[in-house]
Structures are given as structure tokens and as C-alpha cells.
Amino acid sequence: MKLSTPEFDAPSDANDRRAVTPVICYPPDALTPSDLAALAVRRKDAAKSGAVTAAPREAACIDVPAGCFFRISSVEGPQVGDLNLWSKADISERFYSGKTRALHGTHLSTGDRMWSSFPNLRPMATITADTLDWYGFDEFGGSVHDVIGTRCDPYTGRLLSGTDYHHCCHSNLTRAFADHTGLPMAEAEAHIHDVLNVFMCTGFVRDTGQYFMKASPVRPGDYLEFFAEIDLIVGLSACPGGDCSEEHSSDKTTCYPLLIEVFDPGQEAREAHRPPASSAYDQSHGRG
């Protein structure tokens, strides 16, 4: 956090330096836009082919083949979810929230991609529908579906409160991923990564830049829908923070389940889909 009373005097041209106009780090026009119209046509013919529910303070995993859609829905009450994605073919390729943030901004919505880790750096999923897109940014600078938080975890809980809590999203995802893959718990834990905070309403306070959360505007019936660009394992935790209006990392808040449904447009449409290629960078890093 910045010191409220700086230790060093400002230079004489401090205001000029502050007044420099920012430039967007990664121009969004450099990315090929998602073909949402074509995806909408494909979605019309898709039939429900699977579903799983993440119980409150638990997580669930489900396979979603490339070319299918998956939808995360609020079903019983306001609830936020922590989403992880892995490539089914190689679980070391996983969602990269930091690069997704750099490319698309702090909060995602329709048309944005969920990008994978190095050396692949390719779209794993494309957001095709967001019933909370009306929210925009509120007067506090808050919005929904962030890629700025991490995931609640027992290590930070121990650091800050000195107690062990086993139903943070990190632990929920670890158990669900171990069950889904058959990996031992310790190995499964190493594959849990920073998330897309589905339905969570967050931002940074203007004066200190601290991360804030507030009660999610999500209501039963709201959903966020994705197109699977590659064969995926989707993992979702129903965060112990519930709607994140008060606190997380405890059993104090009311929590609700989250539903994941898969929609299949049929074998022909699936086979017609070409998964995005991994990065063509040669990985020489300037040597040899």
C-alpha cells in the first residue's frame, strides 16, 4: 500500500509527470475478435448433455469437450464461484488469469477469452453469454466476474487468523480435482490455480488501491455461459463467502449451490470446430 505520508519530497515537475496520458498496455484490436454470431448459431442446435452441481462450500469438476458450451448458473440464492480450467489432454496447460486480465481487463464478459498458461497461450474458452452484463462498473469501480482476485485459501487464512479452515475454494478445488482425476491430494493441489471469480463483485478502492468485494448482484436464474475451445476439465467451487457481502474463509455466511450444465451441438458441429493452435513462439529465449 502507498504511504499516506510519503517519505520523499515530490520533484518540481511531479504534476507534469502524473498528467501523462495512459496508453492501453495490450491493444484489444490486436486480437482476432470472437465470432459470436457463428457461436450463437451453433448454440441454437446444442442439447443438454451433462450437468454437475457444486454444493455449498464444495467444488465439482466436469469434462467439457471442445466445441460444446457450458453454463454456470445461480440456482437457489446469491452465490459466487471460483472457476479453474485445465486442458483435458495436458493438465499442465491451465487458465492464466493474470494474462487474461492484461488482455481483456479486470472483469470479463461476453466475447472475452480465458487464456491458457505458457507455452500454449491460447483461448481455452470464450464467454458467449452473461446475464449480468447490464451491471457495468458501479460508482465504487466494482464489477462482476473478476480476474483480479486469487482464490480463498487456507494458507492466507492461517496467516491472518491463525486458524485452519478446510472449505476455502483452494481446498474445495483440490478435493474435487483429486476425485475427478484420481491424482493424490498433494499432486492435485499443485494444479489448482488463480481463478475467474464468477458472479463475484470486486474492485480496488480509489484512495489506497486495496482489493474490495461487495454483495454480488447475482440472483437465481442468472448465468455465465462459455464455448469450450479445447477439450476441458472445468472445476468450480461454491465459495464459502456466499455472495461475498461479508467475509469468506469461514462457515458464517449463507451459501448456495452452483450448477454447471454442458450443451452439445452434436458430433458434426464438434468435429467442424478447429481448436486454437498453441503459441508459435519457438521457446529458444534468445539462446541457440
CB of 239 to Zn ion, least distance (A): 3
- Cα(144)–Cα(49) distance, integer angstroms: 28
For Zn ion, which is the closer residue by CB, 110 or 156? 156
| Nearer to Zn ion among residue 50 and residue 154 (C-beta) | 154
The CA distance from 218 to 198, in Å, is 10
Residue 241 beta carbon to Zn ion: minimum distance, rounded to whole angstroms = 6
The nearer residue to Zn ion, 152 or 188, going by C-beta atoms, is: 152
Smallest distance from Zn ion to CB 279, Å: 30
- Asked, as a colleague might, if the bond just before 119 is cis with ω within 30 of 0, I would say yes
Q: How far is the CB of 282 from Zn ion (least distance, A)?
A: 38
Phi (first) and psi of residue 115, to 5 degrees = -90, 155
Minimum CB separation of residue 248 from Zn ion in Å reads 5
Looking at the Cβ atoms of 169 and 232, the one nearer to Zn ion is 169
What is the closest distance, in whole angstroms, from the C-beta atom of residue 61 to Zn ion in the complex?
16
Q: What does the binding site for Zn ion look like in residue numbers (CB under 5 A)? A: 82, 152, 169, 239
C-alpha cell at 241: 463467502
Q: Which three cell numbers stand for residue 282?
A: 519457438
Contacts 24+ apart (CB under 8 A), 175-184: 175/58, 175/59, 176/54, 176/58, 176/59, 176/60, 176/61, 176/235, 176/237, 177/59, 177/61, 177/84, 177/233, 177/235, 179/61, 180/61, 180/233, 180/235, 181/61, 181/91, 181/233
Using the minimum distance from each CB to Zn ion, give the nearer residue, 230 or 258: 258
- Cβ proximity to Zn ion: between 66 and 239 the closer is 239
Q: Which of 157, 148, 150, 151 is nearest to 249 (CA)?
A: 157
Residue 281: alpha-carbon gap to chain centroid: 25
